[in-house]
Amino acid sequence: MIVLGGLVLGAIIGGSIARKRGGKLLDILQYAAGFGIAFCLVGLFATIIIERMY
């Protein structure tokens, strides 16, 4: 669930950053995808660390 939450949160943050900078639709989609993938990876590592602790 952390991975999916990171994906959604990253997409929202990336889209809002691109929109603030005055990006067009494809810019917004690219930022959303990039931030979504990055946050998803952070969530994946967090999940692995949490699972290894138990």
DSSP summary character for residue 44: H
Terminal-to-terminal C-alpha distance of the chain: 17
Residue with tokens 């290894």: 52
Task: Provide the pLDDT confidence category of residue 15 given band limits of 50, 70 and 90.
Answer: very high
Instruction: From residue 44, give the alpha-carbon distance in Å to each of 17, 26, 37, 48.
Output: 23, 27, 10, 6
> Domain residue spans in the chain?
2-49
In this prediction the pTM is: 0.89
Q: What is the mean pLDDT of residues 5-21?
A: 97
Task: Provide the pLDDT confidence category of residue 29 given band limits of 50, 70 and 90.
Answer: very high
